[in-house]
Structure 1
Amino acid sequence: MSEIITGLRPRLAQPWPAGAGPFAGQVAIVTGSESGIGRETARALCAAGAAVVLNGRNAERLEHTRQSFADAGLTVVSCVADVTDYASCERLVAAAIQAFGRLDVLITNASISQRAYFADMQPEVFQRVFDSNVYGSVYPLKAALPHLIRTRGSVTFISSISALNGMPSGSAYCAGKAALSNLAHTLRLELDHTGVHFGVVHIGFTQNDADKRVLDAAGQPVLIAHRPPRWQKTQAGVAAIILRHIRRRRKRTVISVLGKLIVLLHTFFPRLGDWIVLTTTRRLRHFYE
């Protein structure tokens, strides 16, 4: 696909205004930042002093986000790129270097979710969801790694609490998100000498944009499963936690009480955890479907 890079300026010795904040002088790429959690994480990074490269596949929506950031005086450029295509990821990273001359933070947020049971899914749909969650993190990181090593930077994979113990109707999504934890652990061991931080954030139920869609068994976009509003965190609240995770260079952050309960059950009481999931699957099917 062809990439569209907007808001780009020639690289200068200091190509963005000096400012206060914990991320002042740093440059970040946030994939999937045209909307949702990615957009609010990018906004929080800008407010904390960073220059940010926005990313998405929808050129019109991405440009709307970029323009709203620019109108607010935030330092951003944007790049339309499919993160499951390695050449696109190379151009995404090149856009950051061309605009700002360095790269300090990579947040791999772009992914596709699902509402479909494994037995009903078409194989190509499973692959599409899985690839978006695994290669959608691997390819941007592979392209960005040399620059992150130079700055002893930070990498954060955005995962989900559903990866901690699995969730019915989410097989490909859960498998892909779970893979990110092992990937991060392996990279910490392989690249310990570089000083690069590798972390994973497991996000819980979060308020979504009104047009948020996931894939059904045939690959068609459908609304996400119902979640009680009282269980949901705001996108801005999740973004604040992600920034705190990066500042503290944490290995893992699990968001929400439910997520921490899942960790506890999965670690110490796995049979009880499975019983709870199986019971709620029978009695609260709408929670999964």
Structure 2
Amino acid sequence: MSDSAPAAATAPATSAPPAAAGLPRPGAPGVFAGQVAIVTGSESGIGRETARRLGQQGAAVVLNGRNAERLAATRQEFEAAGLAVASCVADVTDYAACEVLVDTAIQAFGRLDILITNASISQRAYFAAMQPEVFRQVLDSNVYGSVYPLKAALPHLVQSQGCVTFISSISALNGMPSGSAYCAGKAAIANLAHTLRLELAETGIHFGVVHIGFTQNDPEKRVLDAAGQPVPIAHRPPRWQKSQAEVAAIILSHIRRRRQRTVISALGRLIVLVHTWLPALGDWIVLRTIRRMRHFYE
């Protein structure tokens, strides 16, 4: 989710007319040819690169964000590259706006096969100092920002036996100081995916989770501080970061292979290993880094 103020859902902007005979406008040949995807929070960052790669591999994509100007610029960039694209300004923590978002896909392309819930707000704030409304804002963006688009899209995904990918984080695997609400929200959607996999097993829908590690961010990327003010993201050593294009490629591989869980980066896989077998060691490492590397969290 972008860091700009929420905007009301507006009429969708699209580069494709309503699909004839219920079929999507053809995209370029590729692994996802003939499929239609919604990527929330795709006006910028990882979401934009994931949507771009889907389009390059044949999917028709519906872009989403809250910043109308930024979203329009991304859509125009995709159009110039010859991709099949539509866009919808929508705050995904508003269920009515999510209904508009899904309707955009159906009106423009006639179906829906892939939903990637990428939009979210992050934070840089310790729990004791965090205002309750800020905690809720971060948590809502991560939980309802996935639940509401899925609820709106579910009938169409049942029809297509489609794929749902929740974008989580390695911080959901073993909590990270200064990220309480974000970690809680990302852990919640991982558990949600497991539950839905059981409840909706007979529908044929694939539910997967991608736990993203440290990733290069757009220069304007902001997170919330304890008072809800946008601030730059905490320091991350460049050698620990993957590019947005690398992360997008991994997300598409996850979808294509219909995997249940993908943990990105060696650090993420190490966290899984330590958290599973040596949790006390994991906590000791985190507590030590708080004392020695406070800039990593603050």
Alignment match, 2:31: 22
Distance 1:154 1:72 in 2: 25
Q: Secondary structure at the match of 2:168?
A: strand
Which amino acid in 2 is paired with 1:136? G
Q: Distance in 2 between matches of 1:113 and 1:5?
A: 27
The alpha carbon displacement at 1:16 in A equals 1.6
Q: Secondary structure at the match of 1:106?
A: strand
Contact 2:71/2:87 (<8 A) preserved: yes
Q: Take 1:222 and 1:200, find their aligned partners in 2: how far apart are those partners?
A: 27
Give the aligned partner of residue 251 of structure 2: 242
With normalisation by structure 2, the TM-score equals: 0.96
In structure 2, the gaps of 5 or more residues are 1-7
Q: Is residue 145 of structure 1 aligned with residue 150 of structure 2? A: no
Q: Deviations over 1:107-134 (max 9, x none)?
A: 0000000000000000000000000000
Match of 1:4 in 2: 11
Q: Does residue 282 of structure 1 match 2:291? A: yes
The question of whether the paired residues in 1 share the 8 Å contact of 2:9 and 2:100 is answered with no
**Residue type at the aligned position of 1:174:** C
What runs of 5+ residues in structure 1 fail to find an aligned partner?
Answer: none
Q: Does 1:197 align with 2:206?
A: yes
Alignment-derived partner of residue 129 in structure 1: 138
Moved over 6 A (4+): none
Q: Return the alpha-carbon distance in structure 1 between the equivalents of residues 74 and 253 of structure 2.
A: 23
Q: Which residue of 2 aligns with 1:42?
A: 51
Q: What's 2:282 paired with? A: 273
Query: Is 2:124 the partner of 1:115?
Result: yes
Q: CA RMSD in A?
A: 0.8
1:15, CA displacement in angstroms? 4.2
Contact 2:37 2:60 in 1 (8 A): yes
| Percent pairwise identity | 78
CA contact (8 A) 1:4 1:59 kept: no
Q: CA deviation at 1:96?
A: 0.2
What's the counterpart of residue 89 of structure 1? 98
- Quote the offset at 1:19 in angstroms: 3.6
- Residue 3 of structure 1 deviates from its aligned partner by 1.6
Aligned pair in 2 of structure 1 residues 197, 15: CA closer, same or farther (>3 Å)? closer
Could you tell me how far 1:10 is from its partner in structure 2? Answer: 2.0
Displacement of 1:4 after TM fit?
A: 3.4
Match of 2:187 in 1: 178
Question: Is the contact between residue 154 and residue 249 of structure 1 (CA under 8 Å) also seen in structure 2?
Answer: yes
Number of residue pairs the alignment of both structures matches: 289
Q: Which amino acid aligns with 1:3?
A: T
CA distance in 2, matches of 1:102, 1:178: 30
SS of the residue corresponding to residue 62 of structure 1 reads: helix
Matched residues in 2 for 1:74 and 1:216: separation?
37
Cα drift, residue 11 of structure 1: 2.2
TM-score calculated relative to the size of structure 1: 0.99
- Matching residue's letter, 1:28: A
Residue 20 of structure 1 and its aligned partner are, at CA, apart by: 1.8
**Take 1:6 and 1:104, find their aligned partners in 2: how far apart are those partners?**
20
Q: In 2, distance between residues paired with 1:22 and 1:274? A: 42
CA distance in 1 between counterparts of 2:140 and 2:152 reads 17
